[in-house]
Structure 1
């Protein structure tokens, strides 16, 4: 008897987290200096893209130094943010080619809008020299050529090599799933709590919909030591409408 798939394959799950994550720190391989704060986003292929300014440790980097970029995906639960997953992308920092700079800037703007992104694009479009005052420079866009990804998510940890990570794609239903998840947490937590009590046969509190995908839902409950409960669908869903029906069935469970 074939058992149903209850969760996304790990590479898909990590790519889905990466697509919603933001870079927080970068460190140089083998260097004694501490990790430095960094701003940026993740492009459509899963590579971290960093906005670096004059004075940042990476600003003057040449020869594609080996780096580790920390990505954090979080979930807003009421008035606070809770980390969904931590990814450490290890690879080599390289300048974003001028022809791809606009696309990279858009990837960053989705996570951290910053007027410095316009400075980057204006500088790339300017003639050589650009007329900038001596001793100043425009911010730069760097991206990470992925070597491997270390992940910690939902109590699971591991390492994914570059080929598996880059070959995977985020959950195709992630956009509608996030909208549905936000709606449930905003308007239907009481129903979700009742459903989880019924499923577990025990009282629960501080219940939130934590993850939602084509294979099932993950529900978080508890305050001081929250636990995660995976609730798979009877079969993977293939479209947003089917996912909505599955969520409705979960909320109506008695």
Structure 2
């Protein structure tokens, strides 16, 4: 049977890679979180003096829950894509990995405190990494839990980064073509179309005419690279 959507672990990893930490819970108390998710799917957190995790000593760990929120901005309005709760063990990033962690966090969450965190002063801002125990996900109408092995082994998909770039380009420059393509495929008018998701199995279009609807358009076969994805998207928008 032809698969039309990515497996849940792959979808969750993709959402995590696009998500931002919003809260971290430790010993029953919660506070704001800032940071990103690293290339393996583990949350990276920038923690400032006075925050709950800051006093954790090097070599120790603590059980924490990190809330991650993935959104999509359309016409200046931010819409939720998915919510994740990552429970695991927070540990201070080791000195040899501080610079790499700071660079990754700065790409998603610029903050001057990252310069001080790289210095490794335990009294200043610090960087922590969360080793995953399990992940609870809520995305659209689907919810569930993934253990660490399922989540970490999945990866975000082979075209994730390229897909996000192409999606933004279509939404900025080719929405009329998108509307024509969806109308041709479904035989029905579509208003306010936006490319919502793009992956190796197909595209999801969001329509905000009266009620919000999502239309899934699978590729004839899964694509395995950016070039194949670009070709599939071009054929959708400009059929011959």
| Corresponding position: 1:15 with 2:10 | no
Shift of 1:104: 1.4
For the structure 1 residues 61 and 122, does the alpha-carbon distance in structure 2 shift closer, same or farther, using more than 3 Å as the test?
closer
1:208-243 CA-to-partner distances (Å, cap 9, x unmatched) read 001111111111112564222211101011222221
Shift of 1:166: 0.9
Runs of 4+ aligned structure 1 residues displaced above 3 Å come to none
Partner Cα distance (1:224, 1:96) in 2:
48
1:121 pairs, out of 107, 118, 121, with 118
Contact 2:21–2:33 (CA under 8 A) maintained in structure 1: yes
Q: In structure 2, the residue corresponding to 1:138 is in which secondary structure?
A: coil
Total equivalences in the alignment: 238
| Corresponding position: 1:65 with 2:62 | yes
My pick for the range that moved more, 41-50 or 165-174, is: 165-174
Q: Which runs of 5+ in 1 are unaligned?
A: 130-136
Shift of 1:253: 5.1
Partner Cα distance (1:224, 1:121) in 2:
50
| Aligned residue in 2 for 1:101 | 98
| Aligned residue in 2 for 1:133 | none
1:215 pairs, out of 201, 205, 209, with 201
**Root mean square deviation of aligned Cα:** 1.8
User: TM-score, normalization: structure 2?
Assistant: 0.93
Rg comparison, structure with higher value: 1
Contact 2:190–2:209 (CA under 8 A) maintained in structure 1: no
Q: In structure 2, the residue corresponding to 1:58 is in which secondary structure?
A: helix
Partner Cα distance (1:71, 1:225) in 2:
27
User: TM-score, normalization: structure 1?
Assistant: 0.88
Q: In structure 2, the residue corresponding to 1:76 is in which secondary structure?
A: strand
Contact 1:198–1:253 (CA under 8 A) maintained in structure 2: no
| Corresponding position: 1:151 with 2:137 | yes
Shift of 1:200: 2.4
Contact 1:154–1:228 (CA under 8 A) maintained in structure 2: no
Q: Which runs of 5+ in 2 are unaligned?
A: none
| Aligned residue in 1 for 2:24 | 26
2:174 pairs, out of 188, 191, 201, with 188
Contact 2:16–2:84 (CA under 8 A) maintained in structure 1: yes
Contact 2:95–2:120 (CA under 8 A) maintained in structure 1: no
Contact 1:70–1:86 (CA under 8 A) maintained in structure 2: yes
| Corresponding position: 1:174 with 2:171 | no
| Corresponding position: 1:4 with 2:2 | yes
